[in-house]
Amino acid sequence: ARCGGGGGGDASVPWNLEHCLAFLNQHFLRGAGGGVGKLLGGGGDGGDSRGARAGIAQAFVVFLTGLTATELDGNMSTVLQMVLGVLVNANNKVYTTTADAVQARVCVSYVLRVGLGVRLGENLQQQACRTLLVVLKQRGQNEQIRAAVLRELVHLLAELGPGVTPIADQLRGTLLLLLTTTTDDHTTATAA
């Protein structure tokens, strides 16, 4: 995958997949703080950050749709982690309001669905499901990541149909574990 130059002013050096995704990720997060407005020729105030994030989400989709199945096959985990990475900061200072955090999640859901989900073949859909299940099982994930992951898992499982019983069973088990853990954590917090 090629995107831009390799830095240092040399546009002839191709970037690798991680560089391209990190570049998009960085500018998506800058949009959360209003900095992309300057990049796009605006004033850089907070009023344009939502539009900037939507534009960067479109750039993610364009980039991802340019990847081949072979490129995705060996890099599914990296791609999903980098796309979801813009939500890691959803509970930090980058997103100053709940509306901004939710809008970031909606953008990420769009990127996952349009940039990846609808164009993956069965094998890559199953690989994406397994990778998303691993992400869902990780402790400490924020609610925006969980919501985006669950939404994409539901879409992928619906497209795959009844032939993916093992993945659906894993999702059921993961959801039960998450609900039990969340309920136990809430009960402990309430009792204290």
What are the phi and psi torsion angles at 16 (to 5°)?
A: -90, 175
Could you tell me if 148 and 87 are in contact, meaning their C-beta atoms sit under 8 angstroms apart?
yes
What are the phi and psi torsion angles at 99 (to 5°)?
A: -60, -40
Could you tell me if 27 and 56 are in contact, meaning their C-beta atoms sit under 8 angstroms apart?
yes
pLDDT digits (tens, 9 = 90+) for 144-191: 899 999 999 999 988 988 877 888 888 888 888 877 875 555 555 555
For the residues 19-26, what does the mean pLDDT come to? 91
Q: What is the pLDDT of residue 132?
A: 93
Q: What is the pLDDT of residue 59?
A: 94
Q: Does residue 43 register a pLDDT over 50?
A: no
Percent of the chain with pLDDT over 90: 36
Q: Does residue 92 register a pLDDT over 60?
A: no
CA–CA–CA angle 148, 120, 176 (5° rounding): 40
User: Which of the 8 DSSP states describes residue 114?
Assistant: I
pLDDT bin (cut points 50, 70, 90) of residue 1 is very low
How far is it, in rounded angstroms, from Cα 8 to Cα 183? 51
95 vs 110, residue with greater confidence: 110
Q: Does residue 122 register a pLDDT over 60?
A: yes
